Amino acid sequence: MNVPFDRSVLRTALERMDIADIAQATIRQSGDIARMMERDTQTEFLHLEMGVPGLPPERVGVEAECAALRAGVASQYPNMFGIPELKEAASRFLRAFLDIEIAPKGCIPTVGSMQGSYNTFLLCSQLNPAKRKILFIDPGFPVQRSQVRILGIPSESFDIYDYRAEKLGPKI
């Protein structure tokens, strides 16, 4: 496999962080390892952890955001039922790219995945009283455990490390 850096750089970062096995590193530790390696190799990494891709925003987006701010949208809350044009666009996107039909009223944009998961946990826990428990497959996103605890939703978890490929189905 072609690796764009000397493997000793990774080993050094793991040793400095006292991590014996990178497969057991948390998402935050993985981010720290990448930052150490960037510093040590003077090579910029593409960050995909925690919603931070490390890519500059597209100019059209920056210009649209500036125009929206000049128009005063930051001084008002959006419609409590959502922005119809955004919900319509989300519905079209799901149909075009995922081949699933979701009515615009079922598209609920959020400001991030944490807000989306919080709302999803709340909704799913109320759909069927016999199926309230949430199953977390680890390693996962630790904040979600706090969310279900705050919502009072029971949960269980297991570490996927020993349940790869054909072993996963029976475990679930």
Q: Label each residue of 105-158 as H, E or C.
A: HHCCCCCCHHHHHHHHHHHHHHHCHHHCCEEEEECCCHHHHHHHHHHCCCEEEE
* pLDDT score of 50: 61
Q: What residues in the chain have per-residue pLDDT under 70?
A: 1-2, 49-54
- Segments making up each domain of the chain, as ranges: 1-76, 78-109, 110-172
| Mean of all residue pLDDT scores within the chain | 87
* pLDDT score of 52: 63
* pLDDT score of 64: 95
* pLDDT score of 51: 64
Spatial separation of the C-alpha atoms in residues 6 and 17, rounded to whole Å: 18
Reported as type and span, the H/E element at residue 100 is: none
* pLDDT score of 158: 86
